[in-house]
A = this chain, B = another copy of it.
Amino acid sequence: MTTLVFGHKSPDTDSTGSPIIWAWYLNQIKGEDAKPVLLGEPNTEAAFMLDHWKLDKPEIISDVAADQPVVIVDTNNPAELPTAINSADIRAIIDHHKLVGGLETKGPIEIRIEPVACTATIMWKMIGDDLAQAPTGIKGAMLSCILSDTLEFRSPTTTQEDKAIAYSLAEDLGVSIPDFAAQMFAAKSNVSAFSDAELLRMDSKEYEIEGTKFRVSVLETTSPKMVLDRKDSLMASMPEVATEDGVHQVLLFVVDILNEEATMLIPNDLTRTVAEKSFGATVTGDTVVLPGIMSRKKQIIPNLKL
């Protein structure tokens, strides 16, 4: 049976590119039968990556069958995976997020989790010298994943390994990192086609503080104005999205990639309290700028207080 390789729901560049990279490796190097799939429509940056490197858009699946062989990449969180994930035959997990708990495997399998910025960085290390056999598209996907997850090395999640591997790939591909990253971020920043609810869910993780559930949403953009011009209708959509998703409140952080700061929307007292207690911010209007805040994983989630 073909092994399905996939990342998390609401696929970003790493969750779109890493399955393609790993399925290539399993097929071409390991001689296995593997296929990359997606758990949803890729975001605009991921779509740009597919287009730029002439990669086929993977099929989108909604769930997995029992005993389906799967490889999970870029997450270990059951909430971000198909409902039936624990009935599947999980063959391997490659990830760079904290261990959440909840995934179970039937037997011992290969699990590689490392505290680097990007799944593709770990894959680069695992593939080793065999990468020489990879076509341009696979190397291009790797570079795209690293530049995306590190925000071109601006994110505090960036490690020396991510950086060195990205430089090595760019050299090999003859790509200028600043030019290519600018194209990627422009693609990601083009959010005009999305509804408010789609924007609030596009890059989002649930997090609970003392029994209060939050949807912590981030929009990384080089054009924060494009999002912030819509702040009134975004804030108006928050209660409905929260209710539908079973959380108390949506928190939206608009990350300005180039200026290295985040703007948090403050629709009500609850979000104002969170902004003040978590980031020591002084809130006067319905938005607040948080200088230096770029990473949900390293800077937002660990500091959230109520």
Measuring CB to CB, which residues of chain A are less than 8 angstroms from any residue of chain B? 90, 93, 96-116, 297-298, 302
Contact among B98, B105, B107 with A106 in the assembled complex (CB-CB below 8 Å): B98
Residues of B close to A297: CB separation below 8 A: 107-108
- In contact, B102 and A101 (Cβ under 8 angstroms): yes
Q: Is the interface of A mostly helix, strand, loop or mixed?
A: loop
User: Which single member of B96, B101, B108 contacts A113 (CB below 8 Å)?
Assistant: B108
In the assembled complex, how far is the CB of residue A253 from the closest CB belonging to chain B, in whole angstroms?
Answer: 18
Query: A112 to B112, Cβ gap below 8 A?
Result: yes
In the complex, which of the residues B98, B108, B109 contacts A107, with contact meaning CB atoms closer than 8 Å?
B98
Of B99, B102, B108, the contact of A111 (CB 8 Å cutoff) = B99
Give, as a whole number of angstroms, the nearest-CB distance from A69 to chain B.
14
Contact A101 B103 (CB under 8 A): yes
Beyond the given A99-B109, A110-B114, A112-B112, could you list 11 further A-B residue pairs with CB under 8 A, ordered by the A residue number? A96-B108, A97-B108, A98-B104, A101-B102, A107-B115, A107-B297, A108-B115, A109-B113, A111-B112, A111-B113, A111-B114
Which residue on B lies nearest to A86, using beta carbons? B101
The 7 closest A-B pairs by CB, nearest first: A111-B113, A108-B115, A99-B105, A98-B105, A101-B104, A98-B108, A98-B107
Give the CA-CA distance A98 to B97 in the complex, in Å: 19
CB distance from A92 to the nearest CB of B (A): 9
Taking CB atoms, residues of chain B closer than 8 Å to A113 are 108-111
Smallest CB–CB gap between A162 and chain B, Å?
A: 12
What residues of chain B lie closer than 8 Å to A93, measured between beta carbons? 99
User: Smallest distance from the beta carbon of A180 to chain B beta carbons, Å?
Assistant: 26
Whether A103 and B99, one on each chain, are in contact in the complex, defined by CB atoms closer than 8 angstroms, is: yes
A207, chain B: closest CB distance, angstroms: 13
Measured CA separation A297–B108 after assembly (Å):
9
State how many angstroms separate the Cβ of A161 from the closest Cβ of chain B: 12
Partner of A101, one of B101, B108, B112, B114: B101
Q: Residues of B contacting A98 with CB < 8 Å? A: 104-109
Closest Cβ of chain B: how far from A156's Cβ, in Å?
12
Q: Which of B100, B106, B115 contacts A110 (CB 8 A)?
A: B115
Residues from chain B with a CB closer than 8 A to the CB of A298 are: 107
- Output the nearest chain B residue to A78 by Cβ-Cβ distance: B101
CB distance from A119 to the nearest CB of B (A): 11
Chain B residues near A115: list those with CB within 8 A: 107-110
Q: Which residues from chain B contact A109 at a C-beta distance below 8 Å?
A: 98-99, 113, 115
Min CB distance A96 to B, Å, is 5
What is the distance, in angstroms, from A150's C-beta to the closest C-beta of chain B?
14
Q: Which residue of B lies closest to A112 (CB)?
A: B112
- Give min CB distance, A67 to chain B, whole Å: 14
Q: In the bound complex, what is the Cα–Cα distance between A105 and B45 (angstroms)?
A: 30
From residue A304, how far is it (CB to closest CB) to chain B in Å? 13
